[in-house]
Amino acid sequence: MSKSEADALQDLVDRAQPQPTHAEVARDFELAPPLNGDGSVPSFAPTNPRVLNDTEQRQVAELEARYAELWTYLQALGHSRELALARTKTEEACMWAVKHVTG
């Protein structure tokens, strides 16, 4: 590499903004808990549901309550990529369980 190429490369490096750390990126992209505008956890019930019987309504309510409890617990554990994945998988699990009940 010639002196002028090395100087040009160094100039680019000097002008480049510092790269964020992994922790900064994780913090910036951390998923917020899925909340409705009023701060409540969203319902996973279908938007155009069939009429659920009493047992199915209780099952869906129980699933949503347990989901909210686990989500809150995972949030309290801290912030990491692994916990973000755990929250995403928890949300997915609840969705599929509700789908089973509401068929």
Whether 31 has a pLDDT exceeding 60, the answer reads no
Other CB atoms within 10 A of residue 60 CB: 21
Residue 70, helix vs strand vs coil: helix
Per-residue pLDDT tens for 35-94? 566 666 666 665 666 788 999 999 999 999 999 999 889 989 999 999 999 999 999 999
Reading phi first (left if > 0) and then psi (alpha if -120 to 50, else beta), residue 45 is in: beta
Averaged over 27-37, what is the pLDDT?
55
- Asked if residue 86 is part of any domain, the answer here is yes
The whole domain housing 41 covers: 21-102
Q: How many domains does the chain have?
A: 1
Whether 95 has a pLDDT exceeding 60, the answer reads yes
- Asked if residue 6 is part of any domain, the answer here is no
Which is higher by pLDDT, 9 or 23?
Answer: 9
- Asked if residue 49 is part of any domain, the answer here is yes
- Asked if residue 34 is part of any domain, the answer here is yes
- Asked if residue 8 is part of any domain, the answer here is no
User: Can you give the pLDDT at residue 100?
Assistant: 92
User: Can you give the pLDDT at residue 92?
Assistant: 93
* In the chain, alpha helices (H): 3-15, 22-28, 54-77, 81-102
